[in-house]
Amino acid sequence: MAHNEVLLIKPVDGLGAEGDQVKVRAGYARNYLLPQKFAVALTQSNRKQVEALKKRRTSREAAELAGAQTLADKISKVSIAFVVKTGEGGKLFGAITSADLHQKLVEAGVEIEKKKIHLHTPVKTLGKHEVKIKLHADVSVDLSFDVVSENPIVEAPVEEPKAEYRTEKKSDRRK
């Protein structure tokens, strides 16, 4: 299999960031990276561009980190409460998902991608809950939210155990 060395101009997921020299299969470079302008073939003249690309990369990463930290501060100041319908015993109708959390954050003025909210399982109980929001590789924030009932909680009626009826066997009657 033939391999080519290319210089990445833009970040490519799973491959590298701008300024990286990577060795990829010839077809991947020829059919995807080069036509999409994600990379250029590595030549002697292109090697000089590496320093400029690395400087641009560090400034971009610093800006992303600063933006993630300011967004984390903004998220930590937000308080979210969900008012849900409940049935007997405080049982929720439905569940709170990451899409619901995303919608509440947008309503609170926090613009964030939904995929950054890491809610492992939908919330199906009343009370206080926490969710982890990963904004950057180095920045994550825990957001706590409340789930409350819109109607008063009525305890489910407790069923009393029924009396047991025992039938006699024919053999018990003879004695």
Give residue limits of the domains in the chain: 3-62, 78-149
Q: Which parts of the chain have pLDDT scores under 70?
A: 1, 153-175
Tokens 């047991």 correspond to: 164
pLDDT at residue 160, as a whole number: 63
Is CATH 3.10.430.100 the right assignment for the domain spanning 78-149?
yes
Angle among Cα 100, 103, 106 to the nearest 5 degrees reads 150
Distance (Å) of CA 63 to CA 51, 67, 94, 137? 19, 6, 40, 13
CATH class of segment(s) 3-62: alpha beta
Residue 37 identity (one-letter amino acid): K
| Cα dihedral sign, 68-20-8-15 | negative
